[in-house]
Amino acid sequence: MIDFITAACCLLGCLSILLASVGVLRFPDFFARTHPATKASAFGLLLLLVAFCVHFPQANQIAKAVFSVIAVFLTLPVASQALADAARSRKSEEQDHSADNASH
């Protein structure tokens, strides 16, 4: 039973990461691409680490996996927001620059 749970979590985690990478390639703009890059990949990593914890039930291994999940779930949204803010400000600067060139 443990092997089945481990295999199912690994398979679903890998599938989620694969779909996230396809979404990054297929979505039309940067802002749409940040969604699969953060949400689906974080979910895939969570499933892979659950499989790891089920397969290796030692306390130190589970603690490492829990800290990894906490780190990923705390840093991915912040990094995604920072990238989106930087892209938005760069886009507005480019629009301002092109409007200045059009008026001259």
> 64-91: per-residue pLDDT in tens?
999 999 999 999 889 888 888 888 888 7
Name the residue range of residue 80's domain: 2-103
Banded pLDDT at 39 (limits 50, 70, 90): confident
Banded pLDDT at 44 (limits 50, 70, 90): very high
| Cβ atoms 36, 24 nearer than 8 A | yes
How many CA atoms does the CB half-sphere of 73 hold within 13 Å?
A: 12
Q: Which of 101, 98, 78, 102 is nearest to 90 (CA)?
A: 98
* Total domains, the chain: 1
Average pLDDT over residues 4-33: 91
Task: Give percent of the chain with pLDDT exceeding 70.
Answer: 88
